[in-house]
């Protein structure tokens, strides 16, 4: 396969996200001999340092410096990439909130195939790339054949590949800012509203009692707060609990919530989607209670209990209180 591979570098204020080096590994998995080009989009002085950083890991680095890119607006970046990218090649993008905004539309404009949320690559046969994905919140995996003949945009799940730290590419930086072209768009960035700080800071807790959809009803939350109280722990939760407005957003663990690093994490009625697990850092001792033995949480937990938490938790609380 002679296709070039490009990787979009997600960064915040000139500091690359972890995905930047994960995409090096992903590209090598597709083709160990591929020439891989990093695309670094942004504005201002921080950009050169970031480009130089990336040159250690990528054969080529394209710098796209424009004041309109001071905040990454997927709409204008899509136009620039359509203007710049050769047709028929492969572009890797992290499947984060920016990548979900950029990738699907970009694939249409490039007339390329699109695979969302790839977690692995399993070989190439001619122009067909075998991609590994997950469906049903990780309860089953699937192989997907992707036709690369007119190019492909592949969104890669953050954390799915081990970052390539070899930094042995010795690449060069090319300033492509003059070739960005028309990037006038109909969606204008206004501001980022920071998450509200709640009454409890779950990011500082050593022991978290975390509750998910398995709690079934708001009234049942009482058994969770009682357990947490008995343990001297803090209550956190997964997304559905916040969507239902049963707990405040500041208690949500996950990529769209808080990133926590406790010593002990009790996951109660939480299935363990990658978005939830993405909010747990470090190596907490993880205990999962779920009535579904196939829940993905049991793949990552240290200890699992397959039972209905609504019966189990009050018993546990009682025994802990009696200690």
Partner 1 sequence: MEIFVCVKRVPDSSENEIELNSSGTDIERDDLVYSVNEWDNYAVEEAIQIRDNVGGSVTVAAVGDEESEEVLRREMAMGVDKGVLLSDDMFEGADGKGIANILKAEIEKGSYNLILTGAQAEAGGAQVGGMLAAMLDVPYASLVNSIEVIDDSKLKVGREVEGGNQEMSEIEMPCVLSIQTGINEPRYVGIRGIRKVASMEIPVHGAGDLGLDASVAGEAGAKVKRTDYFVPDLGEGAEILEGSSDEIIAKLIELLKAKGGLK
How far CA 58 is from CA of 22, 53, 177, in Å, comes to 12, 9, 19
**CB under 8 Å to 118, separation ≥6 — which residues?**
26, 95, 131, 132, 133, 154, 155, 156, 157, 160
d(CA 115, CA 129): 10
Other beta carbons within 10 angstroms of residue 287's beta carbon come to 17
Residue 238 within binding range of partner 1, rule CB under 8 A:
no
Classify strands 264-268 and 207-211 as parallel, antiparallel or unpaired: parallel
**Count, residues near partner 1 per rule CB under 8 A:** 98
**Which range touches partner 1 (CB under 8 A), out of 31-39, 47-55, 164-172, 298-306?**
298-306
Looking at the Cβ atoms of 130 and 167, the one nearer to partner 1 is 130
Looking at the Cβ atoms of 122 and 166, the one nearer to partner 1 is 122
Looking at the Cβ atoms of 33 and 191, the one nearer to partner 1 is 191
Classify strands 152-156 and 113-118 as parallel, antiparallel or unpaired: parallel
**Which bin fits 77, alpha (ψ -120 to 50), beta or left (φ > 0)?**
alpha
Looking at the Cβ atoms of 165 and 321, the one nearer to partner 1 is 321
Residue 29 within binding range of partner 1, rule CB under 8 A:
no
Q: Cβ 109 to partner 1, closest distance in Å?
A: 5
How far CA 192 is from CA of 71, 76, 88, 278, 282, in Å, comes to 10, 17, 35, 21, 28
Classify strands 11-12 and 15-16 as parallel, antiparallel or unpaired: antiparallel
Applying CB under 8 A, among 137, 174, 177, 225 the residue interacting with partner 1 is 137
Nearest by Cα to 52 from 36, 42, 65, 38: 38
Looking at the Cβ atoms of 56 and 305, the one nearer to partner 1 is 305
Residues in 103-122 at the binding interface with partner 1, rule: CB under 8 A: 103-109, 113-117
Element (H, E) at 91: strand 90-94
Applying CB under 8 A, among 133, 175, 221, 225 the residue interacting with partner 1 is 133
**Which range touches partner 1 (CB under 8 A), out of 21-29, 39-47, 84-92, 190-198?**
190-198
Q: Cβ 85 to partner 1, closest distance in Å?
A: 15
Q: Cβ 36 to partner 1, closest distance in Å?
A: 22
Q: Are the CB atoms for 56 and 169 separated by under 8 Å?
A: yes
Residue 191 within binding range of partner 1, rule CB under 8 A:
yes
Nearest by Cα to 291 from 303, 273, 309, 265: 309
Applying CB under 8 A, among 41, 80, 237, 316 the residue interacting with partner 1 is 316
Residues in 55-74 at the binding interface with partner 1, rule: CB under 8 A: 73-74
**Which range touches partner 1 (CB under 8 A), out of 28-36, 52-60, 168-176, 181-189?**
181-189
Applying CB under 8 A, among 123, 181, 204, 292 the residue interacting with partner 1 is 292
Helix axes 97-109, 74-84, angle to 10 degrees: 40
**Which range touches partner 1 (CB under 8 A), out of 25-33, 49-57, 58-66, 251-259?**
251-259
**Would you give the binding string for partner 1 spanning residues 203-232, x where CB under 8 A is met?**
---xx-----x-----------------xx
Residue 46 within binding range of partner 1, rule CB under 8 A:
no
């Amino acid at each position: 396969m002679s296709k070039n591979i490009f990787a979009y570098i997600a960064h915040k204020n000139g500091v690359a996200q972890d995905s930047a080096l994960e995409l090096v590994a992903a590209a090598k998995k597709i083709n160990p001999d591929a020439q891989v080009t990093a695309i670094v989009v942004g504005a201002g002085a921080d950009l050169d340092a970031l480009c130089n950083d990336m040159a250690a890991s990528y054969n080529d680095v394209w710098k796209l410096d424009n004041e309109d890119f001071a905040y990454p607006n997927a709409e204008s970046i899509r136009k620039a990439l359509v203007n710049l990218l050769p047709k028929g090649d492969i572009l890797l993008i992290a499947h984060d909130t920016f990548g979900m905004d950029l990738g699907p539309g970009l694939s249409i404009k490039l007339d390329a195939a699109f695979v969302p949320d790839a977690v692995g690559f399993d070989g190439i046969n001619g122009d067909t790339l075998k991609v590994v994905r997950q469906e049903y919140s990780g309860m089953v995996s699937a192989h997907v054949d992707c036709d690369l003949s007119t190019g492909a945009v592949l969104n890669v799940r953050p954390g799915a590949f081990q970052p390539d730290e070899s930094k042995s590419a010795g690449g060069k930086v090319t300033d492509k800012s003059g070739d960005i072209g028309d990037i006038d768009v109909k969606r204008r960035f206004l501001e980022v509203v920071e998450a509200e700080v709640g009454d409890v800071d779950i990011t500082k807790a050593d022991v978290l009692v975390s509750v998910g959809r398995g709690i079934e009803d708001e009234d049942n939350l009482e058994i969770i707060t009682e357990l947490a109280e008995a343990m001297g722990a803090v209550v956190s939760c997964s997304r559905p609990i916040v969507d239902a407005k049963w707990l405040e957003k500041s208690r949500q663990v996950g990529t769209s919530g808080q990133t926590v690093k406790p010593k002990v994490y009790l996951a109660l009625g939480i299935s363990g989607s990658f978005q939830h697990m993405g909010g747990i850092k470090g190596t907490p001792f993880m205990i999962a209670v779920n009535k579904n033995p196939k829940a993905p949480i049991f793949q990552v937990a240290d200890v699992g209990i397959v039972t209905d938490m609504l019966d189990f938790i009050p018993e546990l609380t009682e025994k802990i209180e009696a200690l």
